[in-house]
Structure formats: C-alpha cells, structure tokens
Amino acid sequence: MRETAVAYEASSPLPFAETLARCREELAKEQLGVLSEIDIQAKLAEKLGIEGEPYVILGACHPPSAHRALEAVPEVGVLLPCNMTVSVEQGRTMVRAMRPDAVMGILDHPALAEVGKDVGARLARVIEAVVKPLAP
C-alpha cells in the first residue's frame, strides 16, 4: 500500500467484482458502513455515452467519528463521507481510500486531527486486508 497526498492506494490481486465485495466486507469489520455507492462508469455511459473500465465509489462512514467531527466543526460535513474507490486501470484492479487526516487537516482543528487519524487507520487496514492474498 502506498500513500498519496489524499489517499491510500494499492493494486488488488483480485478481479474487480471480488475486490469490491471484499471492500464492503472489510469496511464492515472496521465498523464503517457504506452510505452511498456510485457506479461512475455506468453514469458516464448513461449521461455521456462513454464506455470505460469499471469504477465504483463507496461512501463509507464510521458513525461515532462522524458525530465527533460534526460536533466539533459542522462544516466538515462537506468532506464526508470518507470515499473509497475500486477501479480497473490499465488492466489492474486498484483500490483507494481517502486519507481523512490529510483532507480534514485543511480545517486545522485538533478534534478533527484525532478523528482523521482513527478513521484513516481503519481505512488503511481495510485496503491492506483487501489486497492481502486469501489463505487457501
């Protein structure tokens, strides 16, 4: 897994559909619910007639953390939920999750730093579990 300025990312050894299913399972294990799911490829095909590789955005939320963040800084809601993506890029299945510490850091509030660190650790564990080979 590698970190970018705003995301954790890794290439999955699994096909797209299996990676997406594993993301949902691993999010649940980390007490992150999926509030929204957007099939970007389907929307591009519908709205623009563009065919492309699969790309899905999962809007994940850890309710206790979201509550703490919103209580501390209500405007943080524009940065929620924490998005995770599964896509096919150049023949590889990629999985990414936002780095809430980096994204919430722009609001420079101590309570958000704590929330960002906790939720970020959960999302990083999700990606690590998803891309780890399954035991036979």
Percent of the chain with pLDDT over 90: 96
| 122 CB burial (10 A radius; 0-12, 13-18, 19+) | buried
Phi, psi of 128 (to 5 degrees): -60, -40
pLDDT in tens, 42-67: 999 999 999 999 999 999 999 999 99
pLDDT in tens, 78-122: 999 999 999 999 999 999 999 999 999 999 999 899 999 999 999
Neighbour-count burial for 48-80, b at 16+ CB within 10 Å, e otherwise: eeeeeebbbbbebbbeebbebbeeebeebeebb
What domains can be seen in the chain, in order of their start residue?
2-131 (3.30.310.70)
So what's the pLDDT on residue 23?
A: 97
Q: Using an 8 Å Cβ cutoff, are 87 and 93 in contact?
A: yes
In the DSSP assignment, the letter for residue 116 is H
Is 133 a residue whose pLDDT tops 80?
Answer: no
Question: To which residue do tokens 């609001």 refer?
Answer: 107
Is 134 a residue whose pLDDT tops 70?
Answer: no
d(CA 11, CA 31): 23
**Helices within 36-76 (DSSP H only):** 40-48, 63-72
Cα dist from 2 to 13, 46, 54, 121, whole Å: 15, 33, 22, 13
So what's the pLDDT on residue 136?
A: 54
d(CA 39, CA 59): 12
